[in-house]
Structure 1
């Protein structure tokens, strides 16, 4: 039977946008994921480049209305602009319109089949639609085009975890960290995967390496608090959660940790769950990146 953590994680990844630093990461997309345009092979018409640059900046700052307007203007001038189509897809993804986002990602991918940003968008949409096998296949296609791409590795790891293949997810993330040493996105996902996969002590060790930096994302701290909570160290968990969450949310998390520890003690089994990319659940704040 799936644990409550697994159910929460599955719900979270389908409700929140997967990510890292875009707006308030719990339920939003990462700037890195949203605006990355490598390697888009087809250049846009010169007349659209200014709109695209401003649109990218608007998207990074969370101004979805302005970003949408500018991407649409760029596409009026050049309907086959892969950066424009991908950017509009990212904007729709950022506001939770995954179906329409997928349409624009598909159009961009049809124009430039070897462009990785539209493919990453397609994979993220597949995850939100619970099509984990499709997401895995698409991320693997990206990695054939861009080996060790951290976005694709993080996304593939999350998709593997969601499909229940935790061992392969963790092996993939460890290998990706060798190729991308110190990448916080990959480290956060690995730490969360270990924590939810039944090894919160090892997960905490990984997450401590990320949270020791002042600029560490909130998700890293929230995931570390989850690890401490599952280990029974509520004082440490509360101190960490208090940096980013209101008192009521901190108490909700602590009660959840206590409930889960009790269930695990009764069953004698470690918590089984999935790592999700920079995602936060309503009660257990967790995060990973895809």
Structure 2
């Protein structure tokens, strides 16, 4: 297990980046305790605190849940569950270094735990440490060969270092394990676009965009593909589903900047700043 310390900058503009776990601004502060009866929480055992944390997380109070998971971990530092849950919630709110530290503690307790291993590798991606992340994903896949999300994460890491053909093979391996997985298909499409196969990327993304459950980020990725291909009118039409005209103009300008950039710079803009590969 390697340790990553550098933080990454934000990805450029709308639609730049993989379908990864969503997060708030990097470095978001976690309160010491959520709103509520702090005295009762302070005297509660770890199982009770974990239940309170899970309830907070289910209600969408992820920062509050992280504070409670941290409390549970402090009470019982030898328990795997609180460490993994702390890493997961810190990743969601954008504290990549905190997530890496929490997952690292979990791995010291259970070196082969798949969720902890994947979470730690994803945190390294968010910290702009793709080569270290690739090593972790390879270890994950050696321990858990059926982990399609491990192939996705390894693909992201390889794309970030410019090994796009190898990345595409990882996404395809993942799709053989999980046919139709939207995250893998999105990331494969972005990788194809980075190597100039814009039509292939668009063919992959078009059915996903037509789905009634399609998320804005899927449409953003399709817009990015058309933007990189120089089809600004098509990109703008797609972006109008979710964004106002001022945001669209800014995004199209960013696409033009990326069109003139080197391949490594395009990859950095598309993949850097992402917190997790799930």
Alpha-carbon deviation of 1:52?
3.3
Whether contact under 8 Å (1:51, 1:71) holds in the other structure is: yes
Partner residue in 1 for 2:181 = 183
Distance across 2 between alignment mates of 1:248 and 1:56: 39
Change (3 A) 1:62 1:223: same
Partner residue in 2 for 1:115 = 113
Alpha-carbon deviation of 1:60?
5.8
SS of residue matched to 1:274 = helix
| Match among 98, 101, 106 for residue 99 of structure 2 | 101
Coordinate RMSD, CA, aligned:
3.3
Alpha-carbon deviation of 1:50?
5.6
Partner residue in 2 for 1:220 = 218
Q: How many equivalent residue pairs?
A: 250
For the pair 1:205 / 2:203, whether they are aligned, the reply is yes
Q: Gapped runs of 5+ residues in structure 2?
A: 1-7, 27-44
Partner residue in 2 for 1:236 = 234
Change (3 A) 1:178 1:195: same
Alpha-carbon deviation of 1:206?
0.8
Partner residue in 2 for 1:273 = 266
SS of residue matched to 2:266 = coil
Alpha-carbon deviation of 1:74?
2.7
TM-score normalized with structure 2 length: 0.76
Q: Gapped runs of 5+ residues in structure 1?
A: 1-9, 29-46, 281-286
SS of residue matched to 1:273 = helix
Distance across 1 between alignment mates of 2:257 and 2:162: 23
Cα deviation code 1:156-178 (max 9, x no counterpart): 10100111110000011012111
Partner residue in 2 for 1:80 = 78
Change (3 A) 1:249 1:63: same
Partner residue in 2 for 1:169 = 167
Distance across 2 between alignment mates of 1:123 and 1:13: 19
Alpha-carbon deviation of 1:192?
0.9
Whether contact under 8 Å (1:51, 1:73) holds in the other structure is: yes
Cα deviation code 1:37-69 (max 9, x no counterpart): xxxxxxxxxx64564355345446542232023
Q: How does 1:116-155 map to 2 (within 5 A)?
A: 116-155=114-153
TM-score normalized with structure 1 length: 0.73
Distance across 2 between alignment mates of 1:100 and 1:23: 13
Distance across 1 between alignment mates of 2:103 and 2:276: 22
Whether contact under 8 Å (1:187, 1:206) holds in the other structure is: yes
After the TM superposition, which of the residue ranges 234-243 and 154-163 deviates more from structure 2?
234-243
